[in-house]
Amino acid sequence: MDINGQDFIKGCSAIGAGLALIAGVGPGIGQGIAAGHGASAVGRNPGAKSDITSTMLLGQAVAETTGLYGLVTALLLMFVQPLVG
């Protein structure tokens, strides 16, 4: 088995991209929890629906940035590969 430097870099890039995509799990769980708590808050106080919804969506947008950063990192590792000459 003959592995040169470029093959090693490509393999490590693929492993790193897979690990970077794991970053999408946390925001998914967090957004689900936020949506559940938002729905229960609207159920308790329907008059504050617009305030609760806007606050929940703002929090979910902030939480989603982590998943997007992981996706961008994975795409860079898979397709750019600056170390491969």
Structural domains of the chain, ranges and CATH numbers in brackets: 27-77 (1.20.20.10)
pLDDT one-digit tens code per residue, 65-77: 888 999 999 998 8
- Flag whether the pTM goes above 0.85: no
Helix axes 25-44, 49-79, angle to 10 degrees: 170
pLDDT one-digit tens code per residue, 14-33: 899 999 888 888 888 988 99
pLDDT one-digit tens code per residue, 23-62: 888 888 988 998 999 999 999 999 999 999 999 999 888 8
Residues across the chain: 85
Task: Say if residues 37 and 53 touch (Cβ distance below 8 Å).
Answer: no
∠58-55-37 over CA atoms, to 5°?
Answer: 110
